[in-house]
Structure 1
């Protein structure tokens, strides 16, 4: 039976911090990219999947609905997975499609004009805050942390 080692929101998806810091020490053998746009773009999907050979980890790309369906089908087989979501909204979509997570790490969301920083690497919009509140109300533990050796900041409803 597969295992979700980490569910993370990081708008950069796969990059050095994910590949070298978060996957180490957890027995991870796969990274699943969860992004509706990437899953619908065969060229981008192939680019991510092709990193299998260089990183030593299996890379799969799913839409939010597909990852929920796959979890319900076989709990990710024998994969020990780090899930990397492009945004918070797609976490909610994946849960609605059947994915089950207990914790969510929010580690990288770039600053935009309508957002405010909650930690130096995470800037949230009001919509993001509302979506996090919905996840919190579902009993999911949410925390903000860039890399495993940086300070872990617990979610608070008054962000």
Structure 2
């Protein structure tokens, strides 16, 4: 049986930092991207697979519900998976549907109007914060903000204080 060694929200999906630093420190041997847009666009899908496969990891680009179905049907085979989505909303949906994770890293969400910067690489809105708080409370997930393993972690509790 496989397992998700790290779930990560990163708007860029797979890029150099994820493919090397983050995945290695998590002990992943597979990178699973759950993103409907990427899964439905062969060009984008091929770019993701090509970028990720240069690392020696198994790469899968799944539809969002496909990430849940693959877990339910095969428990991600024997892979140590780093599960990646572009948004907190999609990750929330996948985790609430039953894909088990112990650790959720929020690593890259650009600042837009109406968001609050938690770390330089991540800005979220109140609704996204509420989803993260619900995941922590209902599923006991360790949630933190960190772009790369060498940078300081900011806990969800610290982020909550930024919105008070």
Under a length normalisation based on structure 2, what TM-score does the superposition of the two structures give?
Answer: 0.88
Alignment size in residue pairs: 159
What secondary structure, in the 3-state scheme, does the structure 2 residue paired with 1:81 have?
Answer: strand
* Partner Cα distance (2:27, 2:144) in 1: 21
In the alignment, is the contact (CA less than 8 A) between 2:31 and 2:52 conserved in 1? no
The 5 Å alignment of 1:74-153 reads 74-138=74-138, 139-153=140-154
**Post-superposition shift, 1:108?**
0.7
Distance 1:123 1:27 in 2: 27
The whole-number CA distance in structure 2 between the counterparts of 1:27 and 1:133 is: 26
RMSD: 1.6
Matched-pair contact (CA < 8 Å) for 1:5–1:82: yes
Q: Offset of 1:40 from its aligned partner?
A: 2.2
| Higher share in helix | 2
Structure 1: stretches of 5+ with no match in the other structure: none
Aligned CA distance change for structure 1 residues 131 and 44 (closer, same or farther; 3 Å): same
Contact 1:51-1:59 at 8 Å conserved across structures: no
Question: How many angstroms apart in 2 are the aligned matches of 1:17 and 1:53?
Answer: 14
Using the size of structure 1 for normalisation, the TM-score is: 0.91
Q: Tell me the distance in 1 between the aligned counterparts of 2:103 and 2:25.
A: 18
